[in-house]
Amino acid sequence: MKERSRTYIARRRPVELVAEPVREQRVIDTWEGPRTAQPGDYVMTGVRGERWPVPGREFERLYDILGPTEDGSALRVRKKTVEVPFFQTYRPLDFEIRGENFHAETGYFIISYGEEAMYPCEPGVFFETFEILRPAEEDEEFDVR
């Protein structure tokens, strides 16, 4: 049995989210397991209350800052509408990125933001926050190990 679908290209929808700046190292409980957030990173809260850390060096590339939240404790941000390759898993998948283990259930989408930035995404969240554009070209293919 195949482990995954072919690679496709999707565009991120300009969804509004909340980003909390990280001032000291902490562990965030995500849908895929615990993740470490370092000072300078941001903890994102998504469309279904899901949370995940984003390294500070990726944050500016992926999000536009709209302003502070009403209470001033975090930032309102909007996803930039960048195109990214992704595939869907046909069985559970475990992989490692930046020294942390990731787990994706059957049917999850694996989204690539570059060689060291791949993330699993639950199908309901994927379809709310991404628009599928087309099959990937050969040079846009990627895999996880």
Lowest mean pLDDT across 11-20, 71-80, 89-98: 89-98
Q: Do 4 and 88 touch, CB atoms closer than 8 A?
A: yes
pLDDT for the residue 20: 96
pLDDT for the residue 1: 61
The pLDDT tens digits for 45-59 are 998 899 999 998 889
SS3 content of the chain, % helix, strand, coil (to 5): 10, 50, 40
Angle, CA of 125, 128 and 121, to the nearest 5°:
25
pLDDT greater at residue 98 or residue 128: 128
Q: What percentage of residues in the chain have a pLDDT greater than 70? A: 99
Q: Please state the rounded mean pLDDT for residues 68-75.
A: 93
pLDDT for the residue 119: 87
Q: How far apart are CA 6 and CA 140, in angstroms?
A: 11
For residue 115, what pLDDT band results from cuts at 50, 70 and 90? confident
Examine the pLDDT at 116 and tell me if it is beyond 80.
Answer: no
Which of 13, 16, 75 lies closest to 42 in space, CA to CA? 75
Q: How far apart are the first and last CA of the chain?
A: 17
Q: What percentage of residues in the chain have a pLDDT greater than 90? A: 70
Most confident listed range (8-12, 49-53, 69-73, 94-98): 8-12
